[in-house]
Chain A
């Protein structure tokens, strides 16, 4: 069964929208699982989790968009979208591709 983890910090306002998006794509793909939601509150916790920024989505412990970045901490995360734009949110197609890859 697919293991889905959603990590976020309160300071980055896109997390609710990102979680809604994740739920929507999981439903669309027919993946019925509980999402483990983890709030990251400290730099120490971020380092321990290797958390590169909020929001982060892990499928079977693999990031939906693996980063070369090893700067772990309480930051907001930038996603490079398919059209080259930067967004604080992963796109639906990014999530969809990762689900198909891990399922």
Chain B
């Protein structure tokens, strides 16, 4: 399923294999992408402080809720430098999980190696892998961060539906819209 462990050398493109990782979650447990083998996985680079993430958070929870029974697992990863953005600290991640009732793991990429390996630039930024670990969609969750009711194209949902039907994802890549990842 995985080509290699996440490190500093790769950036993912559509059709590439997932890079495995092992990160600590807000539940204080270790989580690997390989824990979710045979599931379609949605890896979202995220954080606490970014207003774009906050605008999309409820939609992330709803997507996980809507697709959980279909073998889909969303995983959020926060790689931001918490020394500059204290709201993004591990402790504050735990608070956010409780406040927003996250129904998916929220992991800390402290050394930023996973974000670097994946080539993540923004929060939120989505990487959808099918159950074979192949990248099928990369980009934004949908086309409207400001108004959930005014979304015209549900990029991630459409990609998930295509993957679940075994068909080609029509829009496999969009420009992620959000804050920049806060590098150390």
Contacts and interface: CB of A to CB of B under 8 A. Distances in A.
A binds B: yes
Q: What's the dominant secondary structure at chain A's contact region?
A: loop
Interface in B7-50: 49-50
Given A12-B179, A75-B85, A87 B55 contact: yes
Contacts of A75: 49, 85, 179
A17 B85 CA distance: 25
B6 interface: no
Contacts of B145: 14, 87-88
B146 A88 contact: yes
B86 to A, nearest CB: 8
A88 to B, nearest CB: 4
Interface in B114-154: 145-146
Contacts, number: 39
Interface string A3-35: 000000001111001000000000000000000
Q: What's the dominant secondary structure at chain B's contact region?
A: loop
25 contacts: A11-B179, A13-B177, A14-B52, A14-B145, A14-B146, A73-B84, A75-B49, A75-B85, A75-B179, A76-B178, A76-B179, A78-B49, A78-B51, A78-B54, A85-B55, A86-B51, A86-B54, A86-B55, A87-B51, A87-B55, A87-B146, A88-B52, A88-B145, A88-B146, A89-B146
Instruction: Report the contact-size class of chain A (Cβ under 8 Å from the partner).
Output: 10 to 19
